[in-house]
A and B are shown apart, each in its own frame.
Chain A
């Protein structure tokens, strides 16, 4: 690598902004995001929301694939336990997430790369706070390196 290129990479690293994929459920968190928007709350523009019918519909593979394809962080959010639109989707999801989160940490993926939370439709302010928190945590980690598919 030439010195010039190396220098350029260094500068881009300082203006680096994380890409965060948020997998959210249709009934609570997505509506919460909507409320945050309607209430004109400010939050960092780093997240890309992907809306799913229920947190129970989130195949843990989506999280792993997002990391593989270069997401610096993945946020997963659904309805609070007890408030699932489908009664128990989030309760079975919680077990899947617990296994996955523990396993990913165990193999050495940073804890804050994958973040799980519950946000209800009335918690627009919490949505904004979560996005701020998640963005700050992922920024602190720097760009993702592990598990990322590098095409050379």
Chain B
């Protein structure tokens, strides 16, 4: 049985496709693993019943919106100007996804008319690492959501626990669970969570001494195998050629030297300054369980503390590195 939100998503998707308002609807469908929805691309009205929306839907879909529109444009490079077409994409967007779209719009990647935002109020998604802990690392054979409870089945039997206990870190401190822009809302808006201050993590980390902080960074980055999944999933990482793939100059060495991991991560994160919406998709796709959020959140923190800006929240407010003020803080400048 589709839930209330799903029913509304499907109806709206059907309408958009039948009336040919959009070429494709990007959403989530049942995946092949328990409690892990997969992104899907619906192009025919008869297919809309595949669309689902619940706590198993994890990935920020804005990256696909960007890719679909831009790849289509590229494919038109040799088409006569009068015959060129544009791709219009509808997307199921929770708060973070809509903020990534705002970032794309601010960065002039596509026009507002290229995207139809089907907004969904979001209660958070399941963190795969927390779920795996609940299963004591055993394989999860089956799983389902039952109201605010999660039920999983492993070789050791069935267990049941509150969804809250396995929600992703980003969701537990999410201040924008509802889309910041949308063309249609599939459901009532929900209240933001205020259980923990979203920056408590950063403050706790910063309170440690320098060598402890470095030891943690080093240990986390040593886990990284540079598969670049975190970059590939990130909606803000859409560069045609990423520095990590450049060979002239070779910013990141191709070998397995730990310092190259560190450099890759420092620079990718730096590119997220004022552009990371804390959707947690990079954390969720990382197969090595690298704690990226502790570090990404620092950039978010500085974005707010130094420049009073939040990524993707306000279309009118330019990102910190695309603007400046004469009186920006500069305590770090040496004046001997």
Residues of A within 8 A of B (CB): 60-61, 64-65, 68, 81-82, 88, 91-92, 94-110, 115-118, 126, 129-130, 132-134, 146-151
Contacts and interface: CB of A to CB of B under 8 A. Distances in A.
Given A95-B321, A97-B332, A117-B336, 15 more contacts: A60-B270, A64-B266, A94-B333, A95-B320, A95-B328, A101-B332, A102-B302, A106-B206, A106-B298, A109-B214, A116-B333, A146-B218, A147-B262, A149-B260, A150-B257
Looking at B206, B270, B307, the one whose CB has the most chain A CB atoms below 10 A away is: B270
Interface string B316-328: 0000110011101
18 contacts: A68-B259, A68-B262, A91-B324, A91-B326, A92-B324, A94-B324, A95-B307, A99-B270, A103-B269, A115-B334, A117-B335, A130-B334, A130-B336, A132-B336, A147-B259, A149-B257, A149-B259, A149-B260
A65 B263 contact: yes
A108 B324 contact: no
A67 to B, nearest CB: 9
Contacts, number: 115
B313 interface: no
Contacts of B306: 95, 98-99, 102
Nearest to A126: B336
A106 B213 contact: yes
Nearest to A100: B270
A150 B332 CA distance: 29
Interface of B: 202, 205-206, 210-218, 243, 251, 253, 257, 259-260, 262-263, 266-267, 269-270, 273, 295, 298-299, 302, 306-307, 320-321, 324-326, 328-330, 332-336
B270 A65 contact: no
Contact of B330 (A98, A104, A107, A129): A98
A132 B23 CA distance: 64
Contacts of A130: 334, 336
Nearest to A105: B210
Contacts of B324: 88, 91-92, 94-95
A103 B273 CA distance: 10
Given A91-B324, A95-B328, A149-B259, A106 B336 contact: no
A150 B255 CA distance: 12
Given A96-B321, A103-B299, A146 B270 contact: no
A150 B258 CA distance: 9
List of 3 A-B pairs having minimum Cβ-Cβ separation, nearest first: A108-B214, A108-B213, A91-B324
A39 to B, nearest CB: 17
Nearest to B216: A108
Contacts of A81: 326, 330
A110 B211 CA distance: 9
B333 A117 contact: yes
Contacts of A129: 336
Given A103-B298, A103-B299, A109-B214, A98 B329 contact: yes
Nearest to A77: B334
A94 B330 contact: yes
Nearest to B269: A103
Nearest to A108: B214
Contacts of B299: 99, 103
A82 B332 CA distance: 18
Contacts of A97: 332
B257 A151 contact: yes
A74 to B, nearest CB: 12
B217 A108 contact: yes
A107 B263 contact: no
A40 to B, nearest CB: 20
Contacts of A134: 334
Contact of A107 (B253, B266, B336): B266
A149 B328 CA distance: 34
Given A68-B259, A103-B270, A108-B214, A91 B328 contact: yes
A97 B259 CA distance: 21
Contacts of B302: 98-99, 102-103
A88 B210 CA distance: 34
Nearest to A82: B326
A82 B328 CA distance: 12
